[in-house]
Amino acid sequence: MDVRDKVVIVAGGFGSLGTVVTSSLLERGAKIAVIDAQAAPPDAPPDVVAIHAELADEQAVSVALDRVVSKFGKISVLVNCAGLIHSEPLVNLTNPEQRRHAFHAWESVIRSNLTAAFVISAHVAERMAASRTKGAIINFSSIAANGNPGQTAYAAAKAGVEAMTKVWARELGPLGIRTVAIAPGFVATASTQAAMPEAALSDLKRRTPLLRLAKPAEIASAVIFAIENDFITGTTLAVDGGLVL
């Protein structure tokens, strides 16, 4: 699928990684709508349709998609970039005030990374199928899906994303809709820096065969590849610099 002139929704397209994905798609001539829980920043590209909506809210997503279809006529690609990185051990005896993984943190991480992807993907797939539009849904997983110590909620959510990707490939493939997951390693973004202490990041760089974090543009190029290769579906593309957790 050539991305030029295709209508692409980037969910979470104003985040640190989503911004780069959005820019890469624009450079290739895609028509972009960004649906994000955060408002469009002042420097957002003027030719992007920006829609402020909570991605795990079915009604809000439905209204947002109505706007996209009203503007562009159809939807060809959904890229699920929205997510929340969170690090917290299951049990921490050194913290007497909160020894167990906080339940509110679990709910927030699952909602942001898994529920949001489920909700918007279900709505987009329904519209694609009803209009007989062949397209693609690109989900964002993570190397953490393999089981990263200290990231119970995040790892569970991303493992769920990979499972949904496989299920949807089998269900939607006969309709001409592909589903692919991108699993980055650790990426040099503000959210990564905020979620992990510098000592942990230095250790990850040391254990990565390429001895560095991924550049956001390298993750965006994997998204483009997944969209353009029409015989890839139901799989997870690892972009992790050779790091194995």
- Give the containing element (helix H, strand E) for 237: strand 235-239
What distance in Å separates the CA atoms of residue 212 and residue 29, rounded to the nearest whole number?
A: 31
Whole-Å CA distances, 133 to 8, 23, 94, 127: 13, 24, 54, 8
Would residue 93 show up in a list of annotated catalytic residues for this protein?
Answer: no
Cβ atoms 155, 147 nearer than 8 A: yes
Residue type, 226: A
User: What is the Cα–Cα distance from 186 to 136, expressed in whole angstroms?
Assistant: 25
The active-site residue out of 14, 140, 154, 168 is: 154
Spatial separation of the C-alpha atoms in residues 184 and 87, rounded to whole Å: 16
Pairwise CA distance, residues 162 & 235, whole Å: 8
Cα–Cα distance, 118 to 137 (Å, whole number)? 11
- Residues annotated as catalytic are 154
